[in-house]
Amino acid sequence: MNRDIPGRELTLRGLVLGVALTLIFTAANIYLGLKVGLTFATSIPAAVISMAFLGLFSGSNIRENNIVQTVCSSAGAMASIIFVLPGLVIVGFWTGFPFWTSFLLTLAGGVLGVMFTIPLRRGLVTNSDLPYPEGVAGAEVLRVGSDTRAANPEAREGLLAVIYGSLASAGLAIAVSMRLALDSATGFFRLPWGASGYSFAWSLALFGAGHLVGISVGVAMALGIAIGWLGAVPILASMTPQHAALGDFVTNVWSSQVRYVGAGAMGVAAIWSLLRTLRPILSGLAHVARARAVQLDPGDHTDRDISFSWVIALSVAAVALAAALTWRFAADAGLGGTAMSIALVAIPIITLFGFLVAAICGYMAGLIGSSNSPISGVGILAVTGCAVFLAVFFSHAPAHAMVAVALFITSILFAAACSSNDNLQDLKTGQLVGAAPWRQQVALLVGVMASSVVVPLVLNLLAKAYGFAGAANLGTVTAQPLAAPQANLISALAQGVIGGQINWNLIGAGALVGVGIVALDELSRARGWMRMPPLAVGFGIYLPMSATLPVAAGALVGWLYNRRSATARSERLGVLMASGLIVGESLFGVINAGLIVGAGRDAPLAVVPDGFAAAPLLGLLGFAGLVVLLYGWLLKMARHA
């Protein structure tokens, strides 16, 4: 066992760089998650940037770079709170996101996620044969850049890939905001069995997300688009009287009917994805419970966690904070004396269910990777269980207030789930590069704190500028709300369980579609065909085509690029360039939201009038041209490998 690796690990410069990257990547992930329901893994881009930056200083080493990626990994984890928290705005309980409440809620859940996974480390990481695909990939990237540090050409090329991708996507987004280029191509048409339409957003961020999720998810989304727009939309349109122009009519059929079908399919897919991993999860946790944690030599830095007393103290503080927040929230909701009872009931829910969620999510991360974990299934089960419990034991309380309380408690649990889903992956990377677990755990807490600060700030900015689909969006400047797909689905479930405000017929039809999709995926597994992830198919039905079709296109182009380049180095460059595409456009989206709110108009950067004649062609040429240039550069780098 390696007892001493030269070089510092938990350094101030590493923490500062990690926090800076966390602030940037958290904001980007929040925007992307609300737009299309996906977030991207931030560890590998952070590792590459860290190697390029810290390599300029003497004494930098692989473990210091590992601390940077550990801090920054929370940007992907804690940003996922947006899959639940906007539900409070969607159901009309909040009009914005109170900073201290939102910050402390995210912080409490994130800290619990870190603390709950500490006792699981030896059983699920050190003495486990779980593959941890993303943790192993992160370690490999760190090893590649460790030998020559700043002189490593791959680190420099990787940084260039991130920069080029960011500049390209931000540049196209700026052109759109200036109204020089149109942001999408849209049209509607009639079919023999109804009417339908098409829409493709010229979004390099969505295209980059497609590259990252891969061909299997891309094809599954394309199948969902076909089910929704060639099946459900035309059929339901033929059964609905038309009282508007074709475009408005088709759009209304999709938004008021087909999305419920997609919600049913997503619900079945998410729960099945979770249940499918249940058997290995339970057997793995049983092994952890039976195994005796073998303490290594106390002098071995690779087997030291944060002290038990600190784990207990931080866990108790986080649970107490969560309970206090729940009490205050319930009281503000007008529940009076019931508020204290709800807060007391929330303590065992958050503690016991939170630890179970941490164990399940940690195991899923080890089994299939944190990015592929069906974390939405956890949110669906959590909000449904919480809503049922509140409906049964507090049936006298106003339904609207209880829906909000259910979403609030679920937000805390979801924050813990997202944090734990990420933590063990980072600890696996650390194990492979000889890091000290306790130092990584400190870094994780720093990352949770930093990303928790960003969450309410960015959410408030986006809520004021764009608003969310399904919400009243009073006072928003633009008329193009962000989709917030998971938050809409989870809010609908809470309302349906407690208040009965849900279209169960269409959701039931969607559930049947979901069952068919699950059967298709299981057949694909059995025959060795390409996987057809059910949740991705559900996304294709539920989300606007403008958001999903570019993802499917990006997945196809990324797959073709990987087949053409066919080396691990070129594939990593593709991942980094795609990450840059997401970061550039997403960060500009956040900046533009600030400009929109500050200026009080929807296009503060516009230099030509709305309806500029060349804008549609320039949008298409800009999007296609940048894709060709970027992938041409990647292929050139691959040939010179």
Contact 407, 383 (CB under 8 A): yes
Q: What is the pLDDT of residue 624?
A: 94
Could you identify the residue written with the tokens 């989206």?
A: 589
Residues 6+ apart with CB under 8 A from 97: 85, 89, 455, 456, 459, 460, 463
Residue 605 CA to residue 3 CA, distance in Å, equals 57
Contact 384, 497 (CB under 8 A): yes
Question: Percent of the chain having pLDDT more than 70?
Answer: 85
Q: Is the dihedral of CA 250, 251, 253, 257 positive or negative?
A: positive
* pLDDT tens figures, 265-314: 877 887 786 677 666 656 655 655 555 444 444 555 677 778 888 889 99
| Whole-number pLDDT of residue 283 | 63
Rg of the chain taking only CA atoms, in angstroms: 24
CA dihedral 390, 395, 396, 402 (to 10 degrees): 40
Phi, then psi, of 14 in degrees rounded to 5: -65, -40
The full DSSP string for 616-639 is HHHHHHHHHHHHHHHHHHHHHHHH
Reading the block at residue 14, the tokens are 């590493």
Which of 44, 90, 86, 96 is closest to 69 using CA atoms?
44
Identify which has the larger pLDDT, 360 or 97. Answer: 97
Report residue 271 as tokens: 């729960």
Residue 297 neighbours by CB under 8 Å, 6+ apart: 1, 3, 303
Q: Are 200 and 552 in contact (CB under 8 A)?
A: no
Query: 402 burial class (0-12, 13-18, 19+ CB within 10 angstroms)?
Result: buried
The answer to whether residues 418 and 77 touch, using CB atoms and an 8 Å cutoff, is yes
- Cβ-Cβ contacts under 8 Å for 153 (sequence gap 6 or more): none
Q: Which residue has the higher pLDDT, 153 or 598?
A: 598
The 8-class DSSP code of residue 258 comes to I
DSSP reduced 3-state for 169:
helix
Distance CA 146, CA 62 (A): 5
Q: HSE-up of 60 (CA within 13 Å, CB side)?
A: 27
Q: Is 341 exposed, middle or buried (0-12, 13-18, 19+ CB in 10 A)?
A: middle
What is the model's pTM? 0.75
CA distance 452 to 442: 15
The conformation of residue 335, written as its DSSP 8-state character, comes to -
Widest pairwise Cα distance in the chain: 76
**pLDDT exceeds cutoff 70 at 12:** yes
pLDDT of residue 4: 38
223-238 pLDDT tens trace: 999 999 999 999 999 9
Does residue 557 carry a pLDDT above 80?
yes
* Confidence (pLDDT) at 287: 58
CA distance 227 to 532: 14
Q: Which of 127, 132, 37, 120 is nearest to 80 (CA)?
A: 37
Give dist(CA 574, CA 560) in Å, integer: 11
Nearest to 83 by CA among 277, 300, 373: 373
What pLDDT is recorded for position 111?
Answer: 94
- Give me the pLDDT at residue 155, please: 65
For residue 52, what are its two tokens? 């390029």
Provide the token pair at 335.
């529940």
What residue ranges do the domains of the chain occupy?
1-641
Tell me how far apart the alpha carbons of residues 74 and 30 are, in angstroms, rounded to a whole number. Answer: 12
**pLDDT, mean over the chain:** 82
200: helix, strand or coil:
strand
Instruction: Tell the residue number behind the tokens 């180095």, with chain if given.
Output: 569
Residues 6+ apart with CB under 8 A from 205: 32, 35, 169, 173, 581, 582, 584, 585, 586, 589
How high is the pLDDT of residue 628?
95
Does position 2 have pLDDT exceeding 70, yes or no?
no
Whether pLDDT at 623 is above 90: yes
Contact between 87 and 407 (Cβ < 8 Å): yes
Over residues 327-371, the pLDDT tens digits come to 999 888 888 778 888 888 888 888 887 777 777 777 666 665 665
Question: What is the C-alpha separation between 486 and 493, in angstroms, rounded?
Answer: 11
pLDDT value of residue 295: 46
* Higher pLDDT, residue 354 or 514: 514
> How far apart (Å, rounded) are the C-alpha atoms in residues 394 and 312?
31
pLDDT of residue 180: 92
The pLDDT tens digits of the residues spanning 23-48 come to 988 888 888 788 767 676 777 778 87
CA 239 to chain centre: 36
d(CA 236, CA 193): 10
